[in-house]
Amino acid sequence: MSPVTPAPAAPSRLRGVAVAVAVVQLVPILELLSGWLSPALGQPARLGDALVEGLVLAALTALLTTLPAGPRVLPALLGGALLGLSAHRLGQPPIVGVLIALPLAALPPRLGLVLACLCALIPPQLSPRASELGPPPARRESPPPDLALITLDTLRADHLGALPGEGWWVFEQAISAAPWTLPAMDSLMLGEPVRRHGGGLPEGEGYTRPDPTTPTLAERLEAMGMRTAAFVSNPHLRASFGFDRGFQRFDHSDDWEEPHAAWSLWGLLGWRAWGWPPRLWARRDPLQVDAALRWWAEAGGAERFLWVHLMSPHEYRRDPSLANSALEAADPERLRRAYAEASARGLAEASRLIEGLGPTTRIVLVADHGESLGEGGRWGHGSAFVDPQLHVPLAARGFGEGRSAGQVAVAGLADALARGALGSLAAEVVEVGGLRRDSLGFALRLDGGGFSPRPPLAPTSESDVMPVQGELLEALQAIGYLSAP
């Protein structure tokens, strides 16, 4: 009797690899389904991202399942990665999710792999779009008409360009209250110069904050019966700094989570290990405009106040090849071109937002501060009281037509918008202050140009100090406000 020859194991191993590769495609499929049914970040998960994720998972799965212990190890690895990501999003150590996934290695490989893939349902559900922070305001008999405030980070006055539609009122000498974001936006929202509200000044390991009892523009408009929402970037504009006050919905890009697990894990690893910013930062302006327009449509039927802060002009040196400070002397025109291109991208998104808001919406477009592009040997912002850093674009629609050549104070916008008239912005002298590294620096900007030093005075109200640490510190280092260790 001839011995029985065992069948070759290769076809069986190939079938196992094929089955495993097919099963792991459940991860992007489930993420797409859950993202479409309950959109993360305010928008559905993207099909192109899912396709790339599926290809990467297929390659890794094929590699692992060809190893001797691969079929049993794969479910634990995949489940551990997905559950570890979920733990991270809940503020727990990722190792917690990894430990929970370890028993998957003891199950039959195919069952363990299916259960591991089902963990993909969890991460998108942990990153829903920002919810309303409170009930709609009580409706008044005649609340103000719809209003949108668009702020562009780091946009110079000479880079404004044309805006869509007609009826724009352009202010040719708009002066910000400070040459960098935190004190400038404090002044814009509170309607006070930096020396009065005392916020955004460096102190110890943080920055001072204004008196929280001073009402913000959003609080004043909410009290008039308007629905309010903000879609913002820049780590200084977080809710922890108080910029959510008065907004029923407050959506900050630093709180976004990538809806695809593989992209999110890669982004988290890249940021922690090599300092690469999350992938979402590269497309946050269009995502914010999309989310803002969705909210605008959903909130129809009530008078609305919308604030959108776009970051593109600030990020003109994001390309590593432009980060070298030696370029400031060796090739300044290359940096200026990069700034112009970044500003154009930001203005394109602002224009898309303006068109989506409709022709009857009152709109104000302004920058928080400007940018030095080599004038006087300076680059950047926050370092000096000079026009390139303080002279900002300011344009309005729906408040009347014309041009204003006289000096105006951006810090007066809160009062002017609450009253619905911009004529009060004119100011022969504008108080400026809040250098990024000098809490004692104040000055007066005179109509037509020129600055006069101003002696420092203690704020009229008590100021808390917001410490800069943890994820806030990392985010500020990532956009160049603080030096990396």
Residue 163 lies in a domain: yes
**Half-sphere exposure of 137 toward its Cβ, with a 13 Å CA cutoff?**
25
From CA 48, how far away is CA 46, in angstroms rounded? 6
Give the pLDDT of residue 115: 95
Q: How far apart are CA 140 and CA 226, in angstroms?
A: 9
Last residue of a domain, one of 90, 125, 160: 125
CA–CA dist 248, 41 (Å, integer)? 17
- At residue 376, the pLDDT reads 94
Best CA proximity match to 207, nearest among 466, 436, 470: 466
Half-sphere exposure in the Cβ direction for 25 (13 Å, CA):
8
Neighbour tally for 362: CB within 10 Å: 18
Per the structure, the complete domain to which residue 308 belongs is given by 147-254+286-478
Tell me, rounded to whole angstroms, the distance of Cα 118 from its chain centroid.
30
- The CA-atom distances, in angstroms, between 118 and each of 33, 82, 121 are 12, 9, 6
The residue among 275, 281, 324 whose CA lies nearest residue 485 is 275
Q: What are residue 130's phi and psi, to 5 degrees?
A: -55, 135
Are 326 and 399 in a shared domain? yes
Do both 196 and 318 map to the same domain? yes
| Residue 28 three-state SS | helix
pLDDT value of position 2: 56
Same domain, 473 and 330: yes
Residue 137: inside a domain, yes or no?
Answer: no
Are 305 and 454 in a shared domain? yes
54 and 157 both lie in a single domain: no
* Cα 396 to Cα 174: distance, rounded to the nearest angstrom: 12
Among 75, 95, 125, which residue terminates a domain? 125
Q: Is 41 inside a domain boundary?
A: yes
Instruction: Please name the helix (run of DSSP H) or strand (run of DSSP E) that holds residue 293, with its range, or none.
Output: helix 284-298
pLDDT 10s per residue in the chain (485 long)?
555 555 556 677 788 889 999 999 999 999 988 878 776 656 668 899 999 999 999 999 999 998 888 898 999 999 999 999 999 888 889 999 999 999 999 999 999 999 999 999 888 877 766 666 666 666 666 778 999 999 999 999 999 989 999 899 999 999 999 999 999 999 999 999 999 999 999 988 899 999 999 999 999 999 999 999 999 999 999 999 999 999 999 999 988 888 888 888 888 888 777 777 788 888 899 999 999 999 999 888 789 999 999 999 999 998 888 988 899 999 999 999 999 999 999 999 999 999 999 999 999 999 999 999 999 999 999 999 999 999 999 999 999 866 677 899 999 999 999 998 898 899 999 999 999 999 899 999 999 889 999 887 765 555 689 999 888 888 888 888 887 66
Same domain, 171 and 237: yes
Would you state the pLDDT for residue 136? 65
Angle ∠(232,255,75) on CA atoms, nearest 5 = 150
DSSP characters over 32-84: HHHHHHS-BTTSPPPHHHHHHHHHHHHHHHHHHHTSTTHHHHHHHHHHHHHHH
CB atoms within 10 A of CB 458: 8
Same domain (yes/no): 166, 117: no
Residue 113 domain-assigned (yes or no): yes
Angle, helices 26-37/261-274, rounded to nearest 10 degrees: 100
Distance CA 328, CA 255 (A): 33
CA 258-262-265 angle, to 5 degrees, is: 70
Q: How far is CA 232 from the centre of its chain?
A: 5
Same domain flag for 47 and 100: yes
Question: Within 10 Å of residue 162's Cβ, how many Cβ atoms?
Answer: 8
Query: Does any domain span residue 278?
Result: no
CATH of the domain at 421: 3.40.720.10
Instruction: Specify if 60 maps to a domain.
Output: yes
pLDDT of residue 208: 93
Task: Report the alpha-carbon angle 362-366-370, nearest 5.
Answer: 175
The number of domains in the chain is: 2
On whether both 172 and 43 belong to a single domain, the answer is no
Strand partners, 469: none
Q: Which of 125, 158, 192 is the last residue of a domain?
A: 125
Residue 220 and residue 414 in contact, taking contact as beta carbons nearer than 8 Å:
yes
- For residue 86, the tally of other CB atoms under 10 A from its CB is 22
- 220 and 296 fall within a common domain: yes
On whether both 98 and 151 belong to a single domain, the answer is no
Q: 219 and 295 in one domain?
A: yes
The confidence score (pLDDT) of residue 62 equals: 94
Rounded CA separation 180/206 (Å): 15
Determine the Cα–Cα distance for residues 397 and 388; give it in Å rounded to an integer. Answer: 25
> Are 428 and 447 within 8 A, CB to CB?
yes
Q: Is this prediction's pTM over 0.95?
A: no
467 DSSP assignment: E
Whether 274 maps to a domain, the answer reads no
The answer to whether position 115 is within a domain reads: yes
